[in-house]
Amino acid sequence: MEARELPGSPEAAPDLGPIHPGSGRRGQLKRVGGAVAAAGLVLAKLGAKVKVLLVALPKLKLLTTSGSMLVSIVAYQLIFGWPFAVGFVMLLLLHELGHVIQLRREGVEASAPMFIPFLGAVISAKSLGDDAAAEARVGLAGPILGSLASLVPLVVWVATGSDFWRALAFIGFFLNLFNLVPILPLDGGRAMAALSPWVWLAGLAAMVALVVFFPSPILLLIVVLGGIESWRRWKARNTPEARAYHRIPTRTRVLVAATYLLLIATLAVAVSATHLPRGLSDV
């Protein structure tokens, strides 16, 4: 839209002297009105550009996997330095790819991972599968692939004795262990869908205790999201859809439980073995 000169704008107002006392004030009012109108046109143009930017924002490369990875690396390097930031984001990527791979095996279209600095990474999908067993498989696939990826820095640490690789292995194992806490929307909560949803209450209580003793915005966010999702599922527990969703073979439940407990035990040992008795800034 082209800006037009308004009758009351400074450009259109003739520069005439006062004809009689008091007419100068009227000319000033016209000038002020013209300035306000011009400012309104500028703001209207700016608002239109902002709207276009908001519509185009999801298509920007910043929001693609590679772009969001780069943003996360830049953010993490402010605390840990470039090498550790790159390694950490790669471990996050492989963890999320575990979910993506399993979702697609379940016949569910899944997006590529999207990274959010200091919050991790997320993927989007229309569902988590046809039943609670599929949801459990999707949930456990992330920690499984993420744990296997953490073996790489572990092997390098054993071979070189470098505390850098030890710290990277530790953060990888710890990340996957933390995700197995049995609360939605963490991976452990997904696994519990195939076992007993009652365990969600125990996971929620454990997370609340962590928030009390170790206050953290991330932990608080997990508590809020977990509480909302658990309450939503609890209200729908007696619907035919919910009963059918959780109706899975006992053999599957046993297999999920065994995988879950084995993962926790293995990761707990790995975290203990790679723990550094000092801050990452000293690495």
Residue percentage of the chain with pLDDT more than 90 = 53
Q: Is pLDDT above 90 for 143?
A: yes
125 and 210, same domain (yes or no): yes
The tokens of 96 are what?
């999320």
10 and 48, same domain (yes or no): yes
pLDDT digits (tens, 9 = 90+) for 40-52: 444 444 444 434 4
Into how many domains does the chain fold? Answer: 2
Grade residue 12 by pLDDT with cuts at 50, 70 and 90: very low
State how far the Cα of 27 lies from the Cα of 76, in Å rounded to an integer: 59
Average pLDDT over residues 138-156: 97
29 and 126, same domain (yes or no): no
Give domain status of residue 4, yes or no: yes
Give domain status of residue 75, yes or no: no
129 and 186, same domain (yes or no): yes
Which position has the higher pLDDT, 35 or 178?
178
pLDDT digits (tens, 9 = 90+) for 197-210: 788 888 889 899 98
Give domain status of residue 228, yes or no: yes
Give domain status of residue 177, yes or no: yes
Q: Read off the DSSP letter of residue 184.
A: T
Give domain status of residue 206, yes or no: yes
pLDDT digits (tens, 9 = 90+) for 228-282: 998 898 888 889 999 999 999 999 999 999 999 999 999 999 999 999 876 544 4
Within 10 angstroms of residue 273's Cβ, the number of other Cβ atoms is 13
pLDDT digits (tens, 9 = 90+) for 242-252: 999 999 999 99
Q: Is pLDDT above 50 for 16?
A: no
Domain residues for 6? 1-59
97 and 25, same domain (yes or no): no
Quick one: pLDDT at residue 108?
Answer: 93
Please report which residue ranges of the chain form alpha helices under DSSP H: 23-56, 65-80, 82-105, 132-160, 163-178, 187-192, 199-213, 217-235, 240-245, 250-274
